[in-house]
Amino acid sequence: MAEEWHLVASTDDIEEEDVLGVNVEGTAVAVYNVKGEFYATENVCTHAFAFLSEGIVIDDIIECPVHQGRFHIPTGKPKGAPVSVALDTYATKVENGKIYVRLKGEGDP
b/e for 22-53, b at 16 or more Cβ within 10 A?
bebeebebbbbbbeeebbbbbbbbbbeebbbb
- Per-domain residue ranges for the chain? 6-102
Instruction: Supply the pLDDT for residue 109.
Output: 38
Q: Residue 89 and residue 105: Cα distance in Å, rounded?
A: 12
Residue 29 sits at the vertex; the CA angle it makes with 25 and 30, to the nearest 5 degrees, is 155
pLDDT in tens, the chain (109 residues): 456 999 999 999 999 999 999 999 999 999 999 999 999 999 999 998 899 999 999 999 999 999 999 999 999 999 988 999 999 999 999 999 999 999 975 444 3
Query: What distances in angstroms separate CA 4 from CA 20, 45, 102, one per listed residue?
Result: 20, 25, 6
Out of 3.40.50.300, 1.10.10.10, 1.10.3720.10, 2.102.10.10, the CATH code matching 6-102 is 2.102.10.10
Q: What is the pLDDT of residue 25?
A: 92
Q: What is the pLDDT of residue 104?
A: 79
Q: Look at residues 69, 68, 52, 66 and name the one whose alpha carbon lies nearest to residue 18.
A: 52
